[in-house]
């Protein structure tokens, strides 16, 4: 963050999960849910501290076909990555401090 703030430009996209969302009930294994909730708290704190054209957001890719998600999952990796890429390339007026899935805000 220091170099990003010094440059006055940057995009931070923390890859989180609905399992870390208080709004979605912190479902899932305890260690995983708590680590994602901590990442969400870090996202909010950093987003409140940044200045210039620096944006800090979190994204939940959803349950995707990966080693963790399993081969039976219907959501492809490319679909899961769309919001992450979008947040990483936000324009100057883009959002800061959001938690998103499919480019839509989801509850913290």
- Provide the number of structural domains found in the chain: 1
Report how far residue 60's alpha carbon sits from residue 24's, in angstroms, rounded to the nearest whole number: 12
The set of residues, in sequence order, having a beta carbon less than 8 Å from that of 35 and lying 6+ positions away, is 20
Over residues 45-93, the pLDDT tens digits come to 999 999 999 999 999 999 898 888 888 889 999 999 999 999 999 999 9
Kindly name the residue from 26, 32, 63, 66 that is annotated as catalytic.
32
Joined together, the tokens standing for residue 18 give: 């609905």
Count of H-run helices and E-run strands, the chain:
3, 4
Q: Is the model's pLDDT at 22 over the cut of 90?
A: yes
pLDDT at 71: 85
Q: Which CATH number do you get for residue 86? A: 3.40.50.720
Q: Provide the residue range defining the domain that includes 12.
A: 2-105
- Of 58, 60, 56, whose CA–CA distance to 28 is shortest? 60
Active site residue 32: yes
| Rounded-to-integer distance, Cα 94 and Cα 59, Å | 14
Query: What is the per-residue pLDDT for 65?
Result: 85
pLDDT of the residue at 97: 98
**Residue 24 banded pLDDT, cuts 50, 70, 90:** confident
């Amino acid at each position: 963050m220091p170099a990003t703030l010094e440059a006055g430009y940057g995009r931070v996209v923390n890859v989180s999960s609905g399992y870390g969302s208080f709004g979605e009930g912190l479902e899932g294994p305890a260690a995983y849910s708590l680590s994602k909730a901590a990442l969400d708290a870090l996202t909010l704190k950093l987003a409140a501290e940044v200045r210039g054209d620096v944006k800090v957001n979190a994204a939940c890719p959803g349950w995707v076909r990966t080693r963790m998600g399993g081969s039976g999952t219907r959501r492809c990796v490319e679909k899961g990555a769309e919001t992450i890429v979008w947040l990483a390339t936000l324009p100057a007026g883009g959002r800061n401090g959001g938690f998103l899935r499919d480019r839509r805000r989801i509850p913290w």
